[in-house]
């Protein structure tokens, strides 16, 4: 029991970005899902007698999947599965007891899902911006997303890690689950406050469309060829072949032609298709059914905005205040800061930064502004975003008024998730995957 409890405790000390990806985001996306904290709370209720009883009954009724790999005929594989069934001496698991995982079909909108870190010594904050786009069952969507990821990953890292030095963990990835939607995830872990990190992701998003417009077609064709070549690589081990076959079995799609379909789809995807996916799902200025979740993990030592702060002040003011507090080690009055920004818009950026430095002197620093220094660079960016916010289109009004379950909206119209289970209860679920091939019923019945 001590070992299990320690394993749960260790999750709290993982890197912040991994806590979001492996725990918090899965809790939001999947049904059913048991978080580590909820399981840890139940440990005190478990007795040795409970464990012993579970051991005695764990195989009384089972549902299992089995992949037989090797030089076997189909009849031999079926016979092997039948032998396993006989060895277990189990009854079939009733359908009501076998609850497959399903993905939450989050309705269009922009949501904030924030958490305080449990580790009091954690210095880094983390954010994951998730854009839901396309269907995992559509080969064209999957290949288009794969190409988009190839283009965006290096650009995202170069801008936020190399140029802005926001943190050591910066990257892009994609995610899909069974018959649910595809997701593009942009993640950053660093010492800056999460609101500022997300503002910098937004800035990148607003400028990236032009990168796609100007992207070299020859380079794009090379990316297509690279992905196709990797997909067509000959597997070098039985384990690799088994892993490739097991995925569609585990996901219950049984779509063993998925990879071939993707390679075939690659030959038809064009750069315009990537741009269309960007505009349809990710570009906040054009996406009609814009669906995004900003997951945030706040370090204990980072000033955490209250619900009143988030409903009263723009995110750009909160981001700037967080940067100032981090660099000056002084509390910032949000009303005074908002007034300063309102008057500073009539100044040049350089003059506004000089005035801000005078009003909020940095700790252990002279008043000479070095805009290349990390602290001044962040404050400069945050000030510019507050003075010249992006011209976002109005977010689509949700059909659900989430206020009745305790959620609230920011000044930008984003809904803040306060209870993930209540929020999930308001959302539809994706259907179960439909097998791509006809399954043979009762194959173990003799």
Q: Which of 131, 149, 128 is closest to 198 using CA atoms?
A: 128
- Residue 156 φ then ψ, to 5°: -65, -45
| E-state strands within 191-270 | none
Whether the Cβ atoms of residue 358 and residue 379 lie closer than 8 Å to each other: no
Residue 236 vs residues 225, 240, 255, 256, 323: alpha-carbon distances, Å: 21, 7, 22, 18, 51
pLDDT at 438 over 90: no
Please tell me the predicted confidence (pLDDT) of residue 249: 87
| pLDDT tens column, 129-171 | 999 998 988 999 999 999 999 999 999 999 999 999 999 899 9
Strand pairing category for 291-298 and 408-409: unpaired
Taking the C-alpha atoms of residue 37 and residue 40, their distance in angstroms, rounded to an integer, is 5
Per-residue model confidence (pLDDT) at position 398 = 59
Q: Is residue 365 predicted with pLDDT exceeding 60?
A: no
Q: Which residues contact 396 (CB under 8 A, 6 or more apart)?
A: 108, 109, 288, 289, 290
Three-class DSSP category at 351: helix
Size of the chain in residues? 446
Which segments of 9-83 are extended strands (E)? 30-31, 61-62
Q: Within 10 Å of residue 434's Cβ, how many Cβ atoms?
A: 11
Omega before residue 32 within 30° of 0, cis = yes
Q: What pLDDT does residue 352 have? A: 92
**CA 330/CA 327 separation, integer angstroms:** 8
Q: How many H-runs (helices) and E-runs (strands) does the chain carry?
A: 18, 11
**Under 8 Å CB-to-CB from 122, ≥6 apart: which residues?**
16, 299, 300, 301
The reported pLDDT for the residue numbered 444 is: 46
Token pair for 215: 């992207």
Share of the chain above pLDDT 90, in %: 62
What is the average pLDDT across 346-359? 90
Position 445 confidence tier, pLDDT thresholds 50, 70, 90: very low
**In this structure, are residues 143 and 137 in contact, taking their beta carbons and an 8 Å threshold?**
no
Residue 108 Rama label (left phi>0; alpha psi -120 to 50; beta)? beta
pLDDT given for residue 402 in this prediction = 96
Q: Cα(112)–Cα(296) distance, rounded to whole angstroms? A: 8
pLDDT grade for 304, boundaries at 50, 70 and 90 = very high
Q: Is 428 left (phi over 0), alpha (psi -120 to 50) or beta?
A: beta
Do 300 and 119 form a contact (C-beta atoms < 8 A)? yes
| pLDDT per position as a tens digit, 385-418 | 999 987 655 455 556 799 999 999 999 999 999 9
Question: 252 pLDDT band (50/70/90 cuts)?
Answer: confident
Cα–Cα distance between 433 and 196 in angstroms, integer? 39
Q: Can you tell me the distance from the alpha carbon of 248 to that of 256, in angstroms, rounded to the nearest whole number?
A: 7
Which residues in 97-168 belong to E strands, given as ranges?
102-103, 109-116, 125-135
User: Can you give the pLDDT at residue 210?
Assistant: 96
Pairing outcome for strands 109-116 and 291-298: parallel
Q: Which of 431, 152, 439 is nearest to 281 (CA)?
A: 152
**Are the CB atoms for 235 and 244 separated by under 8 Å?**
yes
């Amino acid at each position: 029991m001590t070992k299990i409890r320690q394993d749960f405790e260790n999750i709290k000390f993982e890197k912040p970005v991994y806590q979001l990806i492996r725990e918090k985001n899965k809790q939001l996306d999947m049904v059913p899902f048991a978080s580590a904290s909820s399981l840890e709370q139940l440990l005190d209720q478990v007795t040795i007698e409970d464990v012993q009883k579970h051991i005695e009954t764990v195989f009384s009724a089972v549902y299992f999947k089995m992949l037989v790999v090797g030089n076997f005929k189909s009849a031999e594989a079926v016979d092997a599965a039948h032998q396993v069934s006989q060895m277990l001496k189990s009854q079939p698991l009733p359908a009501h007891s076998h609850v497959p995982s399903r993905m939450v079909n989050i309705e269009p909108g922009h949501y904030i899902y924030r958490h305080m870190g449990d580790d009091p010594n954690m210095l880094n904050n983390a954010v994951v911006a998730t854009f839901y786009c396309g269907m995992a069952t559509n080969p064209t969507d999957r290949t288009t997303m794969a190409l988009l990821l190839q283009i965006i990953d290096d650009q995202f890292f170069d801008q936020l890690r190399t140029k802005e030095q926001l943190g050591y963990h910066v990257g892009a990835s994609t995610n899909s689950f069974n018959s649910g939607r595809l997701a593009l995830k942009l993640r950053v872990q660093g010492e800056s406050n999460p609101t500022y990190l997300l503002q910098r992701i937004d800035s990148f998003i607003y400028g990236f469309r032009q990168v796609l417009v100007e992207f070299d077609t020859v380079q794009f064709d090379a990316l297509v060829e690279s992905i196709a070549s990797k997909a067509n690589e000959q597997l070098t081990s039985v384990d690799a072949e088994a892993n490739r076959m097991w995925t569609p079995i585990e996901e219950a799609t049984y779509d063993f032609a998925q990879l071939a379909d993707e390679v075939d789809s690659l030959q038809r995807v064009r750069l315009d298709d990537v741009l269309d996916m960007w505009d349809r799902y990710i570009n906040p200025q054009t996406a009609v059914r814009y669906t995004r979740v900003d997951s945030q993990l706040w370090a204990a030592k980072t000033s955490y905005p209250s619900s009143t702060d988030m409903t009263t002040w723009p995110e750009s003011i909160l981001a700037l205040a967080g940067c100032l507090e981090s660099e000056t080690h002084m509390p910032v009055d949000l009303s005074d800061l908002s007034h300063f920004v309102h008057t500073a818009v009539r100044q040049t950026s350089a003059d506004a930064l000089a005035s801000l430095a005078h009003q909020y002197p940095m700790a252990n620093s002279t008043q000479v502004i070095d805009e290349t220094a990390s602290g001044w660079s962040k404050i400069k960016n945050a000030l510019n975003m507050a003075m010249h916010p992006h011209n976002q289109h109005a977010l689509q009004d949700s059909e659900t008024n989430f206020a009745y379950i305790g959620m609230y909206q920011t000044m930008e119209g984003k809904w803040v998730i306060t209870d993930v289970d209540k929020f999930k209860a308001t959302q539809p679920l994706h259907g179960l995957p439909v097998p791509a091939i006809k399954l043979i019923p009762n194959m173990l019945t003799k």
